[in-house]
């Protein structure tokens, strides 16, 4: 953006000239939501600051699309409302005046730092006056329409990937409940073709060594070398997030301490014991790694159980319920080495373990692909919001 000439940095071909400054009172009519409890059931959606709530038999807006913006509570999450709709009294709906494109204005609403206009010292609040007084820059209706259409298509792509991501995530959740036996049972509800028979009930301490590592001093941390994991790094990895503050130890220190503790190998499982407990990380390559003793429990698998099956077993209800109960009722729950040794697991044949592990691995790969597309498209959207507006 060129602040002197009021011209955006990026522009569609064929458009020129400066944008002009106006207040929102000149481009939208801000209207109040109302209570819906007197209404009957129907097919008209009711929206609050958290999104869709339920459907009723009457509309506040029958034929005018609008932008929803929170009056109280969540004030910085504008949304497009397609008529017919009803909004509750904590959600304003702003209807564009003639000559102003809804999708263009929605972009402007997303650029505004609404929390700066908060009028409350408690629950965040906006008033019609505060909204109306917000200054924005606008352009002619043709350019508004071109910009609005571009962002509408971009939002549509993001929503498509989000819907597919959510659908696959729901499938994964349902299959975790059905492919692993429920509490008190030894056979799952759903099984891959060719497998039968009961699963064996074991505890992990009987199947593998459950331990941690020799404590390393904080002064041994370095800027490069062998990756040093904290519990929160495992949580980030589970969420497919990339921490910006990696820690390392020198390879010489790693070799020294690993002679005492052993080295983490492919197929081993590391599980968080503090903070967000019970989050697993499967070791899938030969890259050396060390970690914070006590904060992370080390399951030395030694190829006793299929690695992927072990990982997804830790996400399943049986082990997660055990971890929750074994953590105690204090303010800070912990998952200890002793708890790790007593962790229950139900095991089918090795062939069935592999089939189950592969299934969930492929499902997660699809989920991650959609998440990567969502992230990529959102980054494009934010860059365009920055460069295509004054």
Alpha-carbon distance values, 364 to 93, 133, 175 (Å)? 38, 47, 12
Domain extent listing, the chain = 20-138, 200-347
User: Which pLDDT score is estimated for 260?
Assistant: 84
Q: Is the separation of the CB atoms in 271 and 278 below 8 Å?
A: yes
Can you state the percent helix, strand and coil of the chain, rounding each to 5?
A: 40, 20, 40
Structure tokens at 79: 């949304």
Q: At what angle do helices 102-111 and 350-387 cross, to 10 degrees?
A: 100
Cα–Cα distance measured from residue 120 to residue 127, given in angstroms and rounded to the nearest whole number = 10
User: Which pLDDT score is estimated for 218?
Assistant: 85
- Altogether, the residues listed in the chain come to a count of 390
Q: What sign has the CA pseudo-torsion 107, 113, 119, 122?
A: positive
Cα–Cα distance measured from residue 355 to residue 336, given in angstroms and rounded to the nearest whole number = 30
Q: Which stretches does DSSP call E strand in the chain?
A: 20-23, 28-31, 41-48, 51-56, 66-70, 79-81, 86-87, 91-96, 135-138, 200-203, 209-211, 221-222, 226-229, 247-249, 269-272, 280-282, 289-291, 296-300, 344-347
* Residues ≥6 apart with Cβ < 8 Å to 384: 10, 150, 151, 154
Does CATH number 3.30.160.60 belong to domain 20-138?
A: no
User: Which pLDDT score is estimated for 331?
Assistant: 55
* Residues ≥6 apart with Cβ < 8 Å to 59: 44, 83, 84, 85, 86
pTM of full prediction above 0.75: yes
- Cα Rg of the chain (Å, integer): 27
- In this chain, the answer to whether the domains covering 20-138 and 200-347 adopt an identical fold is yes
User: Which pLDDT score is estimated for 4?
Assistant: 59
Cα–Cα distance measured from residue 334 to residue 330, given in angstroms and rounded to the nearest whole number = 9
Residues of the chain with pLDDT under 70: 1-4, 329-332
User: Which pLDDT score is estimated for 2?
Assistant: 46
Q: Tell me, rounded to whole angstroms, the distance of Cα 337 from its chain centroid.
A: 30
- Topology of domain 200-347, per CATH? Adenine-n6-DNA-methyltransferase TaqI; Chain A, domain 2 (3.90.220)
* Residues ≥6 apart with Cβ < 8 Å to 184: none
* Residues ≥6 apart with Cβ < 8 Å to 166: none
* Percent of the chain residues topping a pLDDT of 70: 98
Q: What sign has the CA pseudo-torsion 128, 134, 140, 143?
A: negative
């Amino acid at each position: 953006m060129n602040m002197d000439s009021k011209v955006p940095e990026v522009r569609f071909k064929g458009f020129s000239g400066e944008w002009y400054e106006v207040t929102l009172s000149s481009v939208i009519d801000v209207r109040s939501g109302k209570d819906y409890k007197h209404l009957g059931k129907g097919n008209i959606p009711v929206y609050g600051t958290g999104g869709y709530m339920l459907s009723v038999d009457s509309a506040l807006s029958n034929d005018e699309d609008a932008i929803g913006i929170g009056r109280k509570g969540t004030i910085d999450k504008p949304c497009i409302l397609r008529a017919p709709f009803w909004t509750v009294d904590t959600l304003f709906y702003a209807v564009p005046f003639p000559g102003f494109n809804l999708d263009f204005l929605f972009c402007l609403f997303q650029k505004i730092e609404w929390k700066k206009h908060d009028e409350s010292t408690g629950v965040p609040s906006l008033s019609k006056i505060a909204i109306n007084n917000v200054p924005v820059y606008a352009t002619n209706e043709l350019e508004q329409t071109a910009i609005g259409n571009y962002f509408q298509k971009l939002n549509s792509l993001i929503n498509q990937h989000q819907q597919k991501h959510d659908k696959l995530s729901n499938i994964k959740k349902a299959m975790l409940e059905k492919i692993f036996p429920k509490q008190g049972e030894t056979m799952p509800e759903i099984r891959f073709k060719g497998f039968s028979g009961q699963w064996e009930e074991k505890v992990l301490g009987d199947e593998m060594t459950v331990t941690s590592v020799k404590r390393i001093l904080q002064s041994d941390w370095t800027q490069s070398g062998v990756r040093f994991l904290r519990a929160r790094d495992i949580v980030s990895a589970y969420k497919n997030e990339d921490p910006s503050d990696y820690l390392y130890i020198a390879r010489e220190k790693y070799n020294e301490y690993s002679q005492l503790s052993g080295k983490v190998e492919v197929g081993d499982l590391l599980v968080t014991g503090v903070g967000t407990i019970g989050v697993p990380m499967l070791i899938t390559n030969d890259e050396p790694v060390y970690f914070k003793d006590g904060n992370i429990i080390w399951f030395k698998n030694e190829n006793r159980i299929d690695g992927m099956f072990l990982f997804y077993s830790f996400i399943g209800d049986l082990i997660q319920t055990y971890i929750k109960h074994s953590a105690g009722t204090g303010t800070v729950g912990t998952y200890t080495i002793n708890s790790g040794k007593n962790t229950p697991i139900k095991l089918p044949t090795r062939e069935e373990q592999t089939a189950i592990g592969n299934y969930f691995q492929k499902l997660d790969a699809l989920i991650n692909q959609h998440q990567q597309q969502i992230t990529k498209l959102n980054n494009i959207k934010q860059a365009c919001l920055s460069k295509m507006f004054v």
